[in-house]
Every structure is written in structure tokens, then in C-alpha cells.
Amino acid sequence: MPRHVLVPIDGSDHADAGLEYCLTSFPDASLTALYVVDPTHDHEAAVGSQTTSIERAEERGDQVLERAASRAADRGRKIETVRRTGTPHTEILSLATDDVDHIVLGSHGESPITSPFLGRVSEAVVRRTPVSTTLVPESTTAIRDRDLPGDVLIPVDGSAQADAALAYALETFPDATHTVFHALSLPFDRPRSAVEGTYLEAILTDREERAEAVFESATTIADELGPSIETATADGKPAQSILEYAETNGCDQIVLGAHGRSLRARLLGSVAERVARRSPRTVTLVQGDPRSTTT
């Protein structure tokens, strides 16, 4: 469960959505809003101005942070504000090495048909952060109108990272509906009746038994932490199955481990990264093992 959440903001709606998610989802956590002035950015010049472009950017940053503090105050919350100058993702990551244990990033909500949801800064942070991260690709209005935490989808594969994600979801959102999901990754695309009596039937049986074992482990974790869970499977490959299930069943957010069972799953192109890139709903990537998620 997050204790100190960092939310970078830049005055855009997708960043404001990240702040809205924080205010709604983490009522007991300390919140810090960060604005980074990027000196390499081509700040708009003003003819005849007595201030430099960097000074105007700093003034804008202060205004953005003041609005964030005001929004938090309107919700009965106090939020720390920090303005720094430097490369955005570097400044974000430098704070994550302090006492910050969670980052919430608003992501650019472009169509997944033409562009991934992750923006340049979000992607750089996700790939390097040592702490768990939530990506919010939705608008502020959409987050405000949704009854969060809502229906939470938790993909699992039997790994320590998946167990960490499950523990995070159960502890952070005890009042949510939790669906634990496992993709069977069947190596065929045909009706199950068509594989009866073939070597593929043995593969199907093995994958189903593996899913049962994964769900048994998930149930043990849920029993220890309190909230109940539902379980679901799909035949396809993990990333696509997760996205399709979330869309079909109207899930409000996805919580999954930042890495999977194998070293290969830790590389670029992992299930977690593909889901984060393509999901139109909020995605949380949980780092660490289950013991690190408890308070």
C-alpha cells in the first residue's frame, strides 16, 4: 500500500488526471506534486519581456503547483509541492530514490491505433523506476466520473511479481471488486473439442492445471489479506487477453507485476509494457515481492 505518492504535473489535462487519481485512490498517503522546468525545452519567447523564457517557465510551474495545492485543499487534502529544473524523467526518478514509494503519471491519451498511450517522459520513467507506478491515460473528467477503485483486473502467472501485484490491489483497494486473471497461452486457435484425442489435449490439460495452481496461490493470498476474489481465464496470449478481457468486462483499472516469471519477461516488449502501452484504462505496474507491498 503506497505511503508517499509522487505525481508529476505540467498543467495538461492528462497530468491533472493523474492528480485526480491520487486524490481519489490514496486517501491516507502523503502526496507530492512535482513540476519540472526543462531547460532544453524551446520555451515561448515574449517580445519586449523583461524576464527570460526559463523565468517564465518557472512562474508557470509555480502557478500549476498552486492550482494543484488548491485542488487538494478543496478535497480536504494537503499536498507538498516541488519545482525542479532539469530533464523531466531524471528529476522524477531522483525523487523516487528518496522516501517516495509510488509514482502516478498521466499518459498521453492518443489512439492506440496510431500511437502508444505512453508519452516520452512516462515511458522513460516506467523503464527505470525502482518503485511501483500507475499510468493514467484517461481525462480528468473520466477519472472524476468513474467510481474508483471499481472493478480491478489483476493478471497473474505464478510469479513473485504477480503475487506482489495481487497483494497491492487487495491492500490498497479493499472495497473493490477483484478479478484474478490468467491467460492460458494455448498454442492453437481452434475449438477445444477439435483437440480431443490429439497431443494438443495434453497441452490444454497442462495449461488448465497450471491455472488452477496459480488461482490456489492467489486464493491463499486473498484469504490472508481479507478481500474476496473472482477468477477468470482466457485461451490467448497474455497481453492481448488482458486487454480484451478488461475491455469486454468494463474493468476500471488493471494492476499487474512489472516483470513476469522469466528474464525474457523483464526486457523491452514484456507483457507489462505492452499492456501499459495499449490500455485505455489506468494501469499500475507493481515492483518487488509480496513482502515489500505490506506496511
Greater pLDDT, 121 or 210: 210
Residue 255 phi/psi, 5-degree rounding, is -125, 120
For residues 134 and 185, state if they share a domain: no
- The SS3 of residue 57 is helix
For residues 253 and 193, state if they share a domain: yes
Distances (CA, A) of 36 to 54, 69, 71, 129, 138: 11, 16, 19, 17, 22
- Cell 508557470: give the residue: 60
Give the domain-ending residue among 146, 168, 200: 146
pLDDT of 108 reads 63
Question: In whole numbers, what is the pLDDT of the chain averaged over residues?
Answer: 87
pLDDT band at 282 (very low <50, low <70, confident <90, very high): very high
For residues 129 and 161, state if they share a domain: no
pLDDT of 263 reads 40
Which residue blocks in 101-192 are alpha helix, DSSP H? 120-128, 140-145, 160-172
For residues 226 and 286, state if they share a domain: yes
Mean predicted confidence (pLDDT) in 168-172: 97
pLDDT of 46 reads 52
Cα separation, 60 vs 231, in Å, equals: 47
Q: Exposed, middle or buried by CB within 10 Å (0-12, 13-18, 19+), for 226?
A: exposed
pLDDT band at 228 (very low <50, low <70, confident <90, very high): very high
For residues 126 and 153, state if they share a domain: no
pTM of the entire predicted model: 0.88
Give the domain-ending residue among 113, 146, 179: 146
| Extended beta strands in 79-188, E state | 79-85, 102-106, 132-136, 151-155, 177-183
For residues 141 and 158, state if they share a domain: no
pLDDT in tens, 82-105: 999 999 999 999 998 778 999 999
pLDDT of 265 reads 40
For residues 122 and 161, state if they share a domain: no
Residues sharing a CB contact under 8 Å with residue 257, sequence separation 6 or more, in sequence order:
157, 159, 160, 161, 162, 163, 164, 165, 272, 285, 286
Distances (CA, A) of 20 to 27, 39, 108, 210: 11, 27, 15, 39
For residues 104 and 230, state if they share a domain: no
- Is residue 170 over pLDDT 70? yes
- Is residue 284 over pLDDT 90? yes
pLDDT band at 48 (very low <50, low <70, confident <90, very high): low
Cα separation, 167 vs 159, in Å, equals: 12
pLDDT of 182 reads 97
Cβ proximity of 132 and 25 under 8 Å? no
Cβ proximity of 254 and 285 under 8 Å? no
Q: Which domain holds residue 245?
A: 148-295
